[in-house]
Amino acid sequence: MEKAKKKFSYSDFHRIIFIIFFTPVVIYIFHRIEGREYGDKLSILIGMAIFAVLQAVVQSVFYTLEKKDEMVQYNLSKANSIILCAVLIVLFGAALVNDYLIKGLICSDFCWITVMSAISLRSFLFMCFDTVSNKDTEEE
Amino acid sequence: MPELKTKLKEYRAKYDMKQGELADLVGVRRETIIRLEKGLYNPSLKLAMDIAAVFHTTVEELFSFEE
């Protein structure tokens, strides 16, 4: 019996996105940089592992703090979507500016400013989404 | 898009229950109940069932969608 044709799903779409965007990163790190910036290839792997562990720690702390209420999760997901777009725009913008306009953006300063701004803006957006108007509050 | 309609406020009044009390019973914040009453937020199936259980009614009786 002929196998039913599998429908292209949203998961498939993200598999393709993952491959398209992750493969160049790996190729760039291992073939172009060749570990020069970090010592050797093992150091890169160790660095990536440390980054992954730190990510997991931060995520687990955030998750335990933020999973309590589904409205909180809903508002945070909205804030996260906006922040993700903003960070991507800032990073692409900075890369273009650095490549074509002003050479020598201070990378570590820029990273710190972006990270701190993203975290603060995320919380600010959450507060905006989560605010209940006075009229609603008085309706008890 | 269908609009969420809810009888949450009526049931709360019937049971003489405050928003905060209902929120505590179903394990959410009061803000969540306020948004639900305004129809600004679609609850999860679990939350909808928990609220229905508090008022001894069904999810369909409490929540509906209108075009």
Residue extents of the structural domains in chain A: 8-66, 68-131
Minimal-distance CA residue of chain A relative to B29: A69
The pair of three-digit structure tokens given for residue B37, joined into one six-digit string: 């009453």
ipTM above 0.85, yes or no: no
Average pLDDT for residues A93-108, to the nearest whole number?
Answer: 78
Neighbours of B12 (CB within 10 A): 20
Domain containing B41 equals 3-55
Q: First and final CA of chain A: distance in angstroms?
A: 63
Q: Where are the beta strands (DSSP E) in chain A?
A: none
Domain count, chain B: 1
The residue type found at A132 is V
Whether residues A69 and B28 touch (CB distance < 8 A) is answered with: yes
Q: What is the mean pLDDT of chain A?
A: 78
* Among the partner residues B20, B29, B38, nearest to A71 by beta-carbon distance: B29
Average pLDDT for residues A68-74, to the nearest whole number?
Answer: 81
Q: pTM for this one?
A: 0.68
Whether residues A70 and B32 touch (CB distance < 8 A) is answered with: yes
Q: What is the pLDDT, as a whole number, of residue A82?
A: 94
CATH of the domain at B27: 1.10.260.40
* Among the partner residues A69, A137, A140, nearest to B18 by beta-carbon distance: A140
Task: Tell me which of A11-20, A74-83, A105-114, B33-42 is least confident.
Answer: A105-114
Residue A28 pLDDT greater than 90, yes or no: no
